[in-house]
């Protein structure tokens, strides 16, 4: 990556207060441990969002991650245009997740722009995340390997993300304290040529510009349980699909 400019984002500042479905309550509580009822890892594609879940995550926690991202994406898209107001869209997305119990620290929310990106997006992401969390890098690497050999998933990702103009990568795992965490990475790719395999294409300098927004999220289980019933009710009204395409080799 070249010509990088990083800044911290104050999500509540874009551009006015949002009328949120789940009013955020800034409180902390003890995080419970989840029972491990399914040992395999899994991946899913929600719109343009690639979600990778680590080996050992419970079946319910995988569903909760998918449900949270699915609803937050839908709600953000009702209030902001992801292409013309990408910062506002990302803000709405993250704030909606906060309202459901996915907590973050403002100082950890960043935006980075690359005016002269080159190489593979997949490799650049893995190199970046490996320096922060090697376990999440391994989770995502396994998902990328599966994606490469699944033509249906690649076509779906290309279509739902508009050839990478609007996509996200979100690995999920338990931290050392047993809390469910998701690394949300939102991308905006502007390319001269549309590539179905945009994630794995060897881009040359000058071919694309890339914007990357990231926020680490930790689930407050007590807060999530307060909104679970209402969340499930609203998801029943949303007509979209979850494309599960990956199961980790045992």
Domains, the chain, with CATH or none: 65-247 (3.40.198)
228-248 burial, b at 16+ Cβ within 10 Å, e below that, comes to: eeebeebeeeeeeeebebbeb
Judged against a pLDDT cut of 90, whether residue 221 lies above it is answered with: yes
Confidence of residue 42 (pLDDT cuts 50, 70, 90): low
Q: How far apart are the C-alpha atoms of 39 and 178, rounded to whole Å?
A: 15
Question: Among the ranges 23-27, 99-103, 127-131, 163-167, which has the highest mean pLDDT value?
Answer: 99-103
d(CA 171, CA 135): 10
**pLDDT band for position 149 (cuts 50, 70, 90):** confident
Confidence tier at 241 by pLDDT (50, 70, 90): low
Return d(Cα 152, Cα 224) in angstroms, integer.
33
Whole-number pLDDT of residue 13 = 43
Neighbouring-strand partners of residue 210: 114, 189
Q: What are phi and psi of 172, to 5 degrees?
A: -130, 145
Mean pLDDT of 6-19: 44
Lowest mean pLDDT among 1-5, 60-64, 147-151, 194-198: 1-5
pTM comes to 0.79
Q: What is the mean pLDDT of residues 9-28?
A: 43
Instruction: Check whether 40 has a pLDDT greater than 50.
Output: no
Q: Per-residue pLDDT averaged across 5-34, rounded?
A: 42
C-alpha 54/C-alpha 148 separation (Å) is 19
Does pLDDT of 174 surpass 70? yes
Beta bridge partners of 49: 46, 168
């Amino acid at each position: 990556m070249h010509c990088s400019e990083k800044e911290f984002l104050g999500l509540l500042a874009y551009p006015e207060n949002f009328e949120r479905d789940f009013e955020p309550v800034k409180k902390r509580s003890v995080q419970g441990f989840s029972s491990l009822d399914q040992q395999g890892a899994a991946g899913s594609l929600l719109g343009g969002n690639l979600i990778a879940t680590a080996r050992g995550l419970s079946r319910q926690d995988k569903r909760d991650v998918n449900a949270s991202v699915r609803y937050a994406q839908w709600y953000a898209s009702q209030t902001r245009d992801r292409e013309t107001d990408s910062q506002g869209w990302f803000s709405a997305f993250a704030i909606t997740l906060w309202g459901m119990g996915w907590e973050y620290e403002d100082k950890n929310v960043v935006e980075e722009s690359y005016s002269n990106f080159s190489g593979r997006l997949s490799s650049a992401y893995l190199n970046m995340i490996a320096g922060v969390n090697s376990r999440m890098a391994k989770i995502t690497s396994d998902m990328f390997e599966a994606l490469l050999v699944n033509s249906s998933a690649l076509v779906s990702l290309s279509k739902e993300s508009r050839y990478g103009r609007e996509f996200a990568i979100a690995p999920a795992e338990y931290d050392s304290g047993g809390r469910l965490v998701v690394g949300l990475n939102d991308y905006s790719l502007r390319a001269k040529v549309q590539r179905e395999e945009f994630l794995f294409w060897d881009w040359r300098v000058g071919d694309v510009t890339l914007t990357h927004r990231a926020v680490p999220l930790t689930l407050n289980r007590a807060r999530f349980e307060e909104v679970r019933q209402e969340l499930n009710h609203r998801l029943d009204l949303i007509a979209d699909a979850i494309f599960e395409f990956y199961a980790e080799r045992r």
